[in-house]
Amino acid sequence: MTRFAHLFSRSALTIYLSVAAVFTILTLLVAIDPAMRLKHEDADLPIAAVDAAVARGRIIYMAEGCGYCHSQLVRPALIDTPYGRPSRAADYAGATPPLVGTQRNGPDLSAVGERQTSHVWNLYHLFNPRSMVPASIMPAYPWYFEIVDKVDAPAGALTLVLDEPFLAEGKVALPKPEALDIVAYLLSVKQQ
């Protein structure tokens, strides 16, 4: 042990070379090697053309602050397995800004377009989440729907029919274009 200590006390060049060697080895282990592995594992996914309704729905999603309660980032943890595979950097290719979320009060939406594929279910859930999930803490978004008398609803129009307390008797909800855009965005959120 004294020989080793004596070696470093004699030459500043030995100390410098030792520190440089440790720094180089740690840089290779901590930065370069993981980056090289990620480069091969996370090959760029093709950026699909975005439908206009999906783009508008994404803007509304951001404006409503949905990312404050819903993440779009699946962590490599056992608790996240129901949401799909762990997220990769390539999942956010072309997304400006990437919507990873800030916390998860509601379920992760990384692959919601694969897990909840029903257009109608998503509309009901948007109108009033408790109509579909009684314990939901998500706020309702009724301003994206027009409430009309059932007899005044256009024939063949997509209408939401709910019992009280969600809608008054004899009333139906007609989704506005914004509601359809939000649902189009949610159905487009998939892991590739």
Give the pLDDT confidence of 37-75 residue by residue, as tens digits.
766 665 555 566 678 999 999 999 999 999 899 988 888
127 and 165 share a domain? yes
In a domain, 47, yes or no: no
8 and 100 share one domain: no
Model pLDDT for residues 73-117, shown as the tens digit of each residue = 888 888 888 888 888 877 777 778 888 887 888 888 888 888 889
| Residue 57 belongs to domain with CATH number | 1.10.760.10
Inter-CA distances, 62 with 36, 93, 99, 100, 143, Å: 33, 18, 8, 11, 16
Q: Looking at residue 160, what DSSP letter applies?
A: B
Q: Which domain holds residue 25?
A: 2-41
The phi, psi pair for 21, rounded to 5°, reads: -65, -45
